[in-house]
Chain A
Amino acid sequence: MSDIGSDGVLAGVKELSPIQKLAMHGLVFLIIFGGWEVGARLGYVNELILPAPTSIAYRLYEMFFVTGSIYWHYIITMYEATMGFIIGVSIGMGLAITAAISPVFRRYWAPYAVVFNVTPGIAVTPFIIAWFGFGWSSKIALAALVCFFPPFINTLTGLLHIDKDATELFRSLGSTKKQFFWKCQIPSALPIIIAGLKLAMTGALIGTIVAQFFSASEGVGILMQRFAFRLNMDGSFAALIVMSLMGLSLFTLMEYMDYKVLYWRRHSRMEEVGSKRKRKWLAENGDFSA
């Protein structure tokens, strides 16, 4: 996660000590949530529009620790989103690799992927329900549909935009296409592919929840809708927060993958991986300088 703050947007903000910063954050938090709480309690804000933060918090507590009703919905939703993600990403990357390898495929077939993308995926929900029914499969299908494009376009772009000199180097070394693909194209494309996966992750969650809104018997989406239909606003908001938690956990997972896989983009990681490889080399080959 990049640090936009320090000298960009916030240029000119007075530098505070860590304790003062913490106090500042606490103060802002208190103003927002304290104001909201007080507003709701004193009746300035209608509980049916915006319930008090403490009522929402209580609902969350109840869902997780009293009734435990949330877990099943949570697991189902995560399962549907993850399966959709895996399927969508596999199709997207598979097509992109085919398109990168075959110019014919790229020219005559890939344009349909673009048409596909500019059609709002969410609008296809009724068809998806008609085709796949009311169970898990329709949620997975919509999730896959919504998240298929970013990995497709990013993988294709990454594989095709290879440095011209690198291509010449590999050719001059007598490399086969396969060697070039695995040793140069794929690793060069990894950063942009992973950026595509991050977008896809969010897309998969959106797809799942929209499909659940439409028709489902289980899942956080339908849970939220049931609360809303009964004008149980604190329950609705609690479900929304659960969705944020899901998004956050999936995002963290992707960030971790980014951190692990793209070690050559971070200085601390390069040092770590470099010394690990050094140890491995010395164990296998001994020290040639000795």
Chain B
Amino acid sequence: MAEELVIQGSALGKQFGENVIAVEDANFTIPRGSFISLVGPSGCGKSTLLRLISGLIEKSGGDLLVRNAEVVGPRSDIGMMFQKAVLLDWRTSIENVLLPDEIRGTIDTDAKKRAWDHLQLVGLKDFEFSFPRQLSGGMQQRVALARLLQTGADIMLLDEPFGALDEFTRERLNDELLRIVEGPDITTIFVTHNIQEAIYLADQVFVMTPRPGRIAAQIEIDLPTPRNIDMTTTPEFNDYVQQVRDVLAGHLDGQPL
């Protein structure tokens, strides 16, 4: 069976103002159901590429297709999550999760039931009526994840979603994220600057390099699924880490930091 492509970019570029080239000549195809990590140093255009796909910003050149249609703006089959949870402080968890339905005018008993279930799924049983300021950073991100699930989007764009959390919480949430998005339906693009995390999560890692922002390499990660934390010490895993480092080193040599 031929893989169904959900996102395609060719010669995709984004320029800000006269001379800031954030993304240049990006060529990639993303099959449905896959998990892609975008890894690279700060300022390499990872977030810009993510925002191009989300339709939040307009490309300056090239082609970008989602489900064979040019991206012209935000779409309901694409959902986003940010480094900050971006919860509304005056709303309880469940009210935050219901925000997408409120905006689309689709609030009904069914939507409420799904919101409830999503909160259970992300491990927030008994915190349905807590306000964001009563929750820890990790729990706030769980609410944000439940809200993302509530959108019903099957393309999930995650911009360093657990980057501000401590190492232990981050590892746990990564595993839970994998459990939630596994399967043939949900396509995930995950931005990070942590090489191990990028490899651990992904089917494919896009390594990006700055000035101008380019996809320098696309590396298939052929590790067994489901992943578990013990794999991170295997020689295969470390080979991948080395590959990514080599790509980055090759491009960063001689560049001012």
Cβ contact within 8 Å between B134 and A267? yes
Cβ contact within 8 Å between A179 and B103? yes
Cβ contact within 8 Å between B76 and A264? no
CB distance from A179 to the nearest CB of B (A): 6
Hey, which chain A residues are within 8 Å of B112, CB to CB?
Answer: 285, 288
Hey, which chain B residues are within 8 Å of A171, CB to CB?
Answer: 56, 74
Distance in angstroms between the alpha carbons of A289 and B134 in the assembled complex = 22
Which residues of A are at the interface with B, using a C-beta cutoff of 8 A?
163, 165-166, 168-175, 179, 183-184, 187, 263-265, 267, 270-271, 273-275, 277-278, 281, 285, 288-289
Contact of A169 among B78, B80, B89, B128 (CB under 8 A): B80
* B125 at the binding interface (Cβ < 8 Å): yes
Hey, which chain A residues are within 8 Å of B89, CB to CB?
Answer: 264
CB distance from A264 to the nearest CB of B (A): 5
Cβ contact within 8 Å between B74 and A174? yes
Identify the interface centre among B89, B104, B112: most chain A CB within 10 Å of its CB.
Answer: B89
CB under 8 Å from chain A, chain B span 74-110: 74, 76, 78-80, 82-84, 86, 88-90, 92, 94-95, 99-100, 102-104, 109
Beyond A169-B86, A170-B103, A173-B151: 20 further Cβ-contacts under 8 Å? A165-B86, A166-B86, A169-B80, A172-B55, A172-B56, A172-B80, A173-B74, A173-B99, A175-B103, A179-B102, A183-B88, A263-B90, A264-B131, A274-B129, A274-B131, A274-B134, A277-B95, A288-B112, A288-B116, A289-B116
With both beta carbons as reference points, the residue of chain A lying nearest to B51 in the complex is identified as A168
Cβ contact within 8 Å between B84 and A173? no
Hey, which chain B residues are within 8 Å of A168, CB to CB?
Answer: 51, 56, 80, 82
Whether A281 touches B74, Cβ cut-off 8 Å, given contacts A169-B82, A264-B89, is: no
Cβ contact within 8 Å between B133 and A174? no
* B29 at the binding interface (Cβ < 8 Å): no
Distance in angstroms between the alpha carbons of A288 and B121 in the assembled complex = 13
Which residues of B are at the interface with A, using a C-beta cutoff of 8 A?
51, 54-56, 74, 76, 78-80, 82-84, 86, 88-90, 92, 94-95, 99-100, 102-104, 109, 112-113, 116-117, 120, 125, 128-134, 151
Cβ contact within 8 Å between A278 and B74? no
Hey, which chain B residues are within 8 Å of A267, CB to CB?
Answer: 133-134
Cβ contact within 8 Å between A278 and B128? yes
Distance in angstroms between the alpha carbons of A278 and B131 in the assembled complex = 12
Distance in angstroms between the alpha carbons of A165 and B120 in the assembled complex = 25
Hey, which chain A residues are within 8 Å of B51, CB to CB?
Answer: 168
Contact of B120 among A175, A271, A289 (CB under 8 A): A289
Hey, which chain A residues are within 8 Å of B90, CB to CB?
Answer: 187, 263-264
9 cross-chain pairs, A with B, having the tightest CB-CB distances, nearest first: A278-B129, A288-B116, A165-B86, A274-B129, A270-B131, A264-B89, A264-B90, A172-B80, A165-B82
With both beta carbons as reference points, the residue of chain B lying nearest to A175 in the complex is identified as B103
With both beta carbons as reference points, the residue of chain A lying nearest to B151 in the complex is identified as A173
CB distance from B45 to the nearest CB of A (A): 17
Cβ contact within 8 Å between A277 and B92? yes
Hey, which chain B residues are within 8 Å of A187, CB to CB?
Answer: 88, 90
Hey, which chain B residues are within 8 Å of A273, CB to CB?
Answer: 131
CB distance from B17 to the nearest CB of A (A): 18
Cβ contact within 8 Å between A289 and B131? no
Cβ contact within 8 Å between A281 and B94? yes
Hey, which chain B residues are within 8 Å of A278, CB to CB?
Answer: 128-129
Distance in angstroms between the alpha carbons of A281 and B93 in the assembled complex = 13
Cβ contact within 8 Å between B129 and A281? yes
Cβ contact within 8 Å between B103 and A163? no
Distance in angstroms between the alpha carbons of A265 and B84 in the assembled complex = 19
Distance in angstroms between the alpha carbons of A169 and B55 in the assembled complex = 12
Distance in angstroms between the alpha carbons of A173 and B102 in the assembled complex = 10
With both beta carbons as reference points, the residue of chain A lying nearest to B153 in the complex is identified as A172
Hey, which chain A residues are within 8 Å of B84, CB to CB?
Answer: 163, 165
Cβ contact within 8 Å between B80 and A264? no
CB distance from B78 to the nearest CB of A (A): 7
